[in-house]
């Protein structure tokens, strides 16, 4: 693919850093990247890092990757930049709010997740007013990072953030809990951790390549009266697992709504 001729990454924390690693791993020339973050001390060789936006210049793409609460901190220095495209990964911050603070020819919202660092992530995109060319640029930019999903309704972006954006954290917690449960049965802690991680990795790969839904796969491996069925009966009783995850995602979605309200001011 053809990467942008110039890209500013404003904020290089967990998610911004993951995206940068993914881009560099996919062949982006480090020389086209300028990281704007006063708190970053170590970056890949060739990547320029400055504490404030360079004067008298503008990038082809400006990626906004700070915490949502810092929007009004960085916006004054970015308002004069006017990039060809602003790609924002700020959770809960709506396009109208972004446009009021950082004028850009086109604005695209993105919600990546941490596996973008290894090209196995998923990035949701939304654009209400961006040009077709800007949308194509945004999709081409995130495509090397993993799966890309366009979201037509911006009101659904909080739900997407809760599911796929926050989802890796929930999966990590599940893996940890699975390992802890194995250790409680008597397995050594380190062995239980290896078994849990390999099990989730293999099951996810199988589900990804299957034509059936994960629910069908679960029932297929659960013989009547067998040990898998007995375990599934615990998870399925009173829809316990479904209820727990619904509450988990709702809490994340509601937090995004709170962040959006705060950003609007």
Q: How far is CA 188 from the centre of its chain?
A: 33
Q: Is 209 exposed, middle or buried (0-12, 13-18, 19+ CB in 10 A)?
A: exposed
Q: Is the pLDDT of residue 132 over 90?
A: yes
What are the pLDDT digits (tens) for 106-116?
999 999 999 99
What are the pLDDT digits (tens) for 134-169?
999 999 999 999 999 999 999 999 999 999 999 999
Q: Is 100 exposed, middle or buried (0-12, 13-18, 19+ CB in 10 A)?
A: middle
Question: Cα–Cα distances in Å, from 122 out to 18, 28, 38, 66, 259?
Answer: 12, 19, 28, 19, 22
Q: Is the pLDDT of residue 41 over 80?
A: no
Q: Is the pLDDT of residue 1 over 70?
A: no
Instruction: Read off the pLDDT of each residue in 176-192 and give the average, rounded to a whole number.
Output: 98
- For all residues of the chain together, what is the average pLDDT? 93
CA atoms within 13 A on the CB side of 155: 0
Q: CATH code for 7-153?
A: 3.40.50.720
Listed by start position, the domains of the chain span: 7-153, 167-256
**CATH fold of 167-256, please?**
ProC C-terminal domain-like fold (1.10.3730)
Q: Decide: helix, strand or coil at residue 51.
A: coil
Pairing of strands 85-88, 48-50: unpaired
For 169-195, the DSSP string reads HHHHHHHHHHHHHHHHTT--HHHHHHH
Phi, psi at 101, each rounded to 5°: -110, -35
């Amino acid at each position: 693919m053809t990467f942008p001729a110039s890209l500013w990454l404003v904020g290089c924390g967990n998610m911004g850093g993951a995206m940068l690693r993914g881009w560099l791993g996919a062949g982006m020339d480090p020389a086209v990247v300028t990281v704007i973050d006063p708190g970053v001390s170590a970056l890949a060789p060739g990547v320029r890092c400055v504490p404030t936006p360079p004067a008298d210049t503008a990038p082809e793409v400006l990626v906004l990757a700070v915490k949502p609460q810092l929007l009004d901190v960085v916006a004054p220095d970015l308002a004069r930049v006017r990039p060809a495209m602003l790609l924002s990964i700020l959770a809960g911050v709506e396009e109208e709010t972004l446009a009021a603070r950082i004028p850009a020819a086109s604005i695209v919202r993105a919600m990546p997740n941490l596996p973008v660092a290894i090209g196995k992530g998923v990035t949701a995109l939304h654009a209400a007013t961006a040009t077709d060319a800007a949308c194509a640029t945004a999709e081409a930019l995130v495509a090397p990072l993993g799966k890309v999903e366009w979201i037509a309704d911006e009101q659904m972006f909080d739900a997407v953030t809760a599911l796929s954006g926050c989802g890796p954290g929930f999966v990590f917690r599940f893996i940890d809990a699975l390992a802890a449960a194995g250790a409680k049965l008597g397995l050594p802690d380190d062995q239980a951790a290896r078994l849990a991680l390999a099990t989730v990795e293999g099951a996810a790969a199988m589900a990804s390549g299957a034509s059936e839904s994960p629910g069908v796969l679960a029932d297929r491996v659960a013989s009547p009266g067998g040990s898998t069925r007995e375990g599934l009966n615990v998870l399925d009783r009173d829809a316990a697992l479904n209820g727990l995850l619904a509450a988990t995602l709702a809490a994340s979605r509601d937090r995004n709504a709170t962040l959006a309200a705060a950003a609007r001011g």
